[in-house]
Structure 1
Amino acid sequence: MLLSFAVFLLLLLLGMPVVFAIGIGGLVFFLTQPGLQLTMPVQLALAETQNFSLLAIPTFILASNLMNELGVTRRLLRFAHVVTGFMRGGLAQASVLLGFLMGGVSGSAIADATMQARLLGPEMVRRGYSRGFIAALQGFSGLLAVAIPPSIGLILYGSIGQVSIGQLFAGGIGVGVLLAAVYMLTVALLARSRGYLPETAPPTAKEVGAALREGFFAVLFPFLLLAALRFGVFVPSEVGAAAVVYALLVGLIYRELSLERVNRALAHSVRDVGMVALLIAMAAVLGYGMKWEMFPQQVSAFLLEAVQNPQVALLLILLALLVLGTVLDSTVMIILLTPILVPAAKALGIDLVYFGVLMVMTCAVGLLTPPVGLSMYSVCSVMGCGIGEYVREGWPFLAATLLVLLLVYLFPGVVLFLPRLLFGGGV
């Protein structure tokens, strides 16, 4: 197994796409095990993609792309700007609120960050915001999509780790609300120090109501998901399909449904689903080697023997995830590490809903940090700014993110309050 990991890391260093590095690393394991047939990697890869619980992923991805194509984003932006435009740095505050609202539509941090940079970037430049600040703000605002249902990261963790996706969605909302509040406070402090002024007068109740009515169906989306899961109307694999129907109905209501837009949403979805499915298939090959060598059990035994305190063990795991996030994509980390860390967390007596939300959020921080932060490169490309400028402007948001992770680590109730209220307890 060590040889497989060595090959995987070597191929990564040589610049090979991570999905092929994972697959070749897994194949090396089978080549070094005479008792295993070489047809098994193909069987494992195909079998993993037929996992019924993973059916939620393509349907949620399609639903989110449909919502983005059918006028939802524009309506949510108008609502966000009406609510926050009277604050200092109004457009920046609207970006954070839009990130929170769009998290309930897209489920993807990279997609959210890129969309917001394209949508809000030019206007923010005209209003005097620096390109580095805009890139950092939009990148970190996109991180809210990792916590808010239907988060693809939480679906992956729940499907692979056999943890309730409904409870994970409920737990993510608490973290998303806290993270959005801390980001808005960060923006307020920066706006005051830099002299960013309010852009509109305080809205009247009538203006807020009109903007809310316009974006009502999009704002309602994540709450409908939770209600459907809580009351057993759908199982997770079915609720994604229901979300697709809901997105099409929203398009009809907004009178923006057209064959061209549906085709665009389908094209984006095929690309996104193909990427995730290939990662899952290749990870199944490498993951079989880990199970064969009883790697998850060894990690659990090591943590139980070396670190008696579950909270200390959890802190060490989170620190390791932060370091790994600087060199591995968050989706890859979730797919590879969930089968290893869930048994360890269970052995340590850590609630798996709490652990899952914290793990997925911690993995996602790497999307915004050098050297391989995909969201970072995406927003910098859209805004035309250098990585150095992004880093200089982004450190307050990184500090705010780490502060929220620390608060969630210290106070599990931030995650567990809603799952216990709605579902009667964690896992």
Structure 2
Amino acid sequence: MIWMLIAFFTFMFLGMPVAFAIGIAGFIWFLQNPYLPITIPIQLSLSQIINFTLLAIPMFIIAGNIMNSAGVTKRLLDFASSLVGHMRGGLGQVSAVLSTLMGGVSGSSIADAAMETRMLGPEMLKRGYPRGFAVAVNVWTSLIVPIIPPGIAFILYGTIGQVSIGRLFAAGIIPGLLLMVIYMIVIYFVSRRLGLQPEREKRASYREISQALSKSIWALIFPVLLIFGLRAGIFTPSEVGSFAVVYGMIVGFLIHREMSLKSFFTEALGYSVGDIGAVLAILAMSNIFSYGMVWERVPETMANFLLGISTNPYVLMIIIMIFLVFAGLFIDATALILMTTAVFLPVARKIGIDPVHFGLVFILSAAMGNQTPPVGASMYAGCSVLGATLEEYVKASWPFLIATIIIIILVIFFPQLSLLIPKLIFG
């Protein structure tokens, strides 16, 4: 087992793509156990990606890219600007609200960070935003995206842990809104210290807000329809992804009429191929790695170790949060969720923590890895767009890091923040 872990971290340190690092490390473990058939790794990688529930992941990725091609992003940007553009650090405030709205369209923090940095970043620089702060705003606010339903991380966690995906979707609403609020507070005070001005001279009129709202309504009701469809039993988690694709096509072709057949194939489907390939490669390879961990009884050993420290739910959740935040410095967020759900969720269940409540804490803590160096994918996406150095980004990120940890701790100690809406909707 030790050689598998050494190999994994060595490959990650050398910059190998995470899917290959996981897969090769897992294969090394099989080579150390010659009594196991060498065909098992191939079977494991295939069995992981033909899971019917996981079909929702490529469907939601396609749906998100279709909605972007359908002009949804521009409409949501206008709506966000009308709501908060008059506040101090207006473009930063717009970024926080836009990420919250985009959470109902795209479940990818990385895609949102790249998109918003590309849209808002150049204007931020023109208005005197320090380059590192401009990137940090767009990268950290993108953390809201996987928390607001529908989030791909919820599907991964729910599938592995046998937790209701509908409840997980609903549980992300309040924590996602809390993240938006605390990021807006951080942006306000940092902008005030830097002397950054609002985007708009005065507050938008109610008429202007209502017009922007009406243009964005088809994107805003999308997550509501998803949760309602799951609650009413109209869709399974897999089927709701297919509904999302059809819904996006209707919006793009018939309602907004901004998507042509060419943009549908070259942009929506073209971008989706790369996105889906990256996620499914990690999914396939992670099963090989996880097999070795289960065979070596790592989940049981970790459970006994944690329970030996404390059986207090709050203490254990804080310990797990610290571990995930630290591990996220070196491991991709998707891979981290796949590798550790089966390790930590049984511990949570054993001491009576609600798996939905634990899921929010777990996913928030793991997802931060996309925003933190040295392997944060969202961080690199934002920095590459604006040409910011890692030092500039890290210096500007501390307030957002602290704010995020505050929200995670609030969710830990106040379970109803994540459980209230699932209970109201699903009983």
TM-score range, shorter chain: over 0.9
Give the match for residue 253 of structure 1: 255
Give the match for residue 396 of structure 1: 399
Structure 2 matches for 1:299-338, cutoff 5 A?
Answer: 299-338=302-341
Tell me, yes or no, if the aligned pair for 1:70 and 1:261 is still in contact at 8 Å: no
After TM superposition, give the deviation of residue 331 of structure 1 in Å.
0.7
Give the match for residue 355 of structure 2: 352
After TM superposition, give the deviation of residue 48 of structure 1 in Å.
1.1
* Distance in 2 (alpha carbons) for counterparts of 1:401 and 1:305: 28
* Distance in 2 (alpha carbons) for counterparts of 1:192 and 1:9: 41
Residue from 376, 379, 387 that aligns with 1:376: 379
* Distance in 1 (alpha carbons) for counterparts of 2:127 and 2:34: 66
Number of residues of Structure 1 aligned to a counterpart in Structure 2 = 424
Structure 2 matches for 1:21-420, cutoff 5 A?
Answer: 21-198=21-198, 199-251=200-252, 252-263=254-265, 264-420=267-423
Kindly provide the CA deviation profile for residues 271-292 of structure 1, in whole angstroms up to 9, marking residues without a partner as x. Answer: 1111111111111111112222
Against the structure 1 CA distance between its residues 128 and 12, is the aligned structure 2 distance closer, same or farther, given a 3 Å change threshold? Answer: closer
* Distance in 2 (alpha carbons) for counterparts of 1:159 and 1:3: 29
After TM superposition, give the deviation of residue 190 of structure 1 in Å.
2.0
* Distance in 2 (alpha carbons) for counterparts of 1:113 and 1:16: 22
Kindly provide the CA deviation profile for residues 342-398 of structure 1, in whole angstroms up to 9, marking residues without a partner as x. Answer: 212211221111111111111111212221111111111111221111122221111
Moved more, 138-147 or 402-411: 402-411
Runs of 4+ with deviation above 6 angstroms: none
For structure 1, the residue ranges without an aligned partner over 5 or more in a row are none
Q: Structure 2 length as normaliser, TM-score?
A: 0.96
Against the structure 1 CA distance between its residues 393 and 11, is the aligned structure 2 distance closer, same or farther, given a 3 Å change threshold? Answer: closer
* Distance in 1 (alpha carbons) for counterparts of 2:396 and 2:3: 41
* Distance in 2 (alpha carbons) for counterparts of 1:35 and 1:390: 49
Question: Which amino acid is 1:256 matched to?
Answer: E
After TM superposition, give the deviation of residue 305 of structure 1 in Å.
2.9
After TM superposition, give the deviation of residue 30 of structure 1 in Å.
1.9
After TM superposition, give the deviation of residue 242 of structure 1 in Å.
0.2
Tell me, yes or no, if the aligned pair for 1:44 and 1:285 is still in contact at 8 Å: yes
Moved more, 31-40 or 207-216: 31-40
After TM superposition, give the deviation of residue 16 of structure 1 in Å.
2.5
* Distance in 1 (alpha carbons) for counterparts of 2:104 and 2:391: 31
Query: SS at the partner of 1:79?
Result: helix
Moved more, 328-337 or 361-370: 361-370
After TM superposition, give the deviation of residue 15 of structure 1 in Å.
3.0
Tell me, yes or no, if the aligned pair for 1:300 and 1:347 is still in contact at 8 Å: no
Tell me, yes or no, if the aligned pair for 1:147 and 1:176 is still in contact at 8 Å: yes
Query: SS at the partner of 1:122?
Result: helix
Question: Which amino acid is 1:214 matched to?
Answer: K
Query: SS at the partner of 2:36?
Result: coil
Q: Structure 1 length as normaliser, TM-score?
A: 0.96
* Distance in 2 (alpha carbons) for counterparts of 1:15 and 1:89: 36
Tell me, yes or no, if the aligned pair for 1:117 and 1:383 is still in contact at 8 Å: yes
RMSD of the TM alignment (CA)? Answer: 1.3
Aligned sequence identity (%): 48
After TM superposition, give the deviation of residue 182 of structure 1 in Å.
0.7
Kindly provide the CA deviation profile for residues 151-184 of structure 1, in whole angstroms up to 9, marking residues without a partner as x. Answer: 1111111112111111111111111000001111
Query: SS at the partner of 2:16?
Result: coil
